Structure 1
Amino acid sequence: MQRAPRVSRSVPPPQPSVADMSAAGLRAFFNIARDWALSADEQIVLLGSPGRSTFFKWKAAPQTARLGRDTLERLSLILGIYKALQILLPQAEAADGWIKRENAAPPFGGRRALDRMLAGNVSDLVAVRQYLDAMRGGWA
C-alpha cells in the first residue's frame, strides 16, 4: 500500500518583537555612531530627540528599550544609509567620512549630508537614503 505524499505546511517565522527590533536597532546605531564619530547631541537628534536620560539608558542597556514607531523608522533609515555607503565606498574610511564632507549634490546644496540628517525631520533622513539608493542604481 502506497502512502499519499505528505503535504508540508510551512509556518511563517515569527515576527520579531518591538523589544527585539529595538535592541538590535540600537546596538547597530551605536556602532554606526562610533564609526561616524558622532557626538551624543548628534546621536540624540538622529534618534528623534529623546530626553537625554532616556538616550543614555538606551546606550547603557539597549536590550531594555521599547522604541516607538518613529524611532524605529529613523533607525531603519540610518542603517540603510550606512549600508548604501558601504556598498558605494568599500573603503571604511571613505564610507564613514562621506557624511561629514561638503556635497554639492542637490539634496545637500554644498552642505554635509550630516547637516541634512540633523535637520531633525524623518523626511531629511529619507532624502539622504533616496539619494544614496539612486547613486547605487536602486529605486529612489
Structure 2
Amino acid sequence: MAILMLPIALAACSSGGEERSFSLFDKKPDTPQSFPADYRAELLGFMKTYLNNPVGVRDAAMAEPVMRDVNGKMRYISCLRYSARESDGSYREPRERAVLFVNGRLDRMIEKSGDLCTGAALSPFPEMEKMTR
C-alpha cells in the first residue's frame, strides 16, 4: 500500500499551484559589477584549456571589457577574435567570441556573440599568439 502512495505524494509536491521556473539570471535586483582587472590573464588561462591546441594561434585580437545588457543584467563583456590551428596544421577563418565576466571574474565564453560584439574596438592580443601547452 505504501508503494502506491509514493507516486501520489510526489505528484502532490510537484503541483503546488505556484508557478516556478529556473532561470540562469534570477529575478533579484542587478548588483553593480566590478571591472575584471585581470581579464587578459584569466582569458589566457581559460583559452589554454578551451582550445585543443593552444599553440600557433593567429590573428588574435581582443576588446577591452565594456558593460552590455545580457538577458536584462548589465555585465562586462569582452570580444575576442582568433584563428586556431587545426589538427592537420591548417587554419579556419577567424572566430569571434564574446567573453562574459560576472563580479570581476571570467564566467563563460559565448560562441555566438551576435550583437554583443557589434562595434567592439579590437586590438592585437599578441600574448594569445604566444601560448604554449
Question: What TM bracket, shorter-length normalisation?
Answer: under 0.3
Largest Rg, 1 or 2: 2
Select the structure that is richer in strand: 2
More relative contact order, 1 or 2 (CA 8 Å, 6+ apart): 2
What TM-score, normalized to structure 1?
0.27
Select the structure that is richer in helix: 1
